Amino acid sequence: MNNDIEKVLYSREEIQAVTEKLGKQITEEYIDKNPIVICVLKGAVLFMADLAREIKTYCEMDFMDVSSYGDGTKSTGEVKIIKDLDTPVEGRNVLIVEDIIDTGRTLERLADLLHHRKAKSVKICTLLDKPERRVKGVVPDYVGFEVPNEFVVGYGLDYAGRYRNLPYVGILKPEVYENK
């Protein structure tokens, strides 16, 4: 599996350091706010698990799996919910935890949905941000790393369902795609 990786972009140690830093900022911001921290499945699972341990104040955790409708030509602000939250968000401070923001479509729609459900505040924490590819005006509140416009895998991110269990983020060798 490690042989399929061309280059490690962020090591386990670098991810750990940035996660600690983000956790400190989030702790300060959310003290006494009892936020609902929402993990966007499946990619954000590893990041969520590590980040949650760095949030040193009361919070709740919930999980959501969404996919964008169609090709994004419809601007309905809708997301197809594959697994919804168990917790009502009305009047609550919500922090969305994502693995990567690419075009921004998924998160824009998700944030709209949570506002529509009358969340008191909606903020976004993403491990990786690919600002070059942005087509929607999503600005994350907390970012681990800005990544170049390459397809990355590991630490939750997959290619064809694989590589999520790598402890680091890396770029796949082109032959891995070509051999499919």
- The reply to whether 129 sits near ligand XMP by the rule CB under 6 A is no
**Least distance in Å: CB of 93 to ligand XMP?**
22
Query: Segment contacting Mg ion (CB under 5 A): 28-36, 41-49, 59-67, 111-119?
Result: 41-49
Would you state the structure tokens that stand for residue 31, as one six-digit string? 């003290």
**Least distance in Å: CB of 33 to ligand XMP?**
26
Q: Which of 100, 113, 127, 166 binds ligand XMP (CB under 6 A)?
A: 100
Residues 99 and 43 sit within 8 Å (Cβ to Cβ): yes
Residues 62 and 85 sit within 8 Å (Cβ to Cβ): yes
Enumerate residues 6+ apart whose C-beta is below 8 A from 29: none
Report the C-alpha gap between 33 and 31 in whole angstroms.
Answer: 5
- The reply to whether 104 sits near Mg ion by the rule CB under 5 A is no
The distance in angstroms from the start CA to the end CA of the chain is 15
Residue 102 annotated in active site = yes
- Residues at the contact surface with Mg ion, assessed by CB under 5 A: 43
- Residues at the contact surface with ligand XMP, assessed by CB under 6 A: 43, 68, 99-107, 151-153, 157-158
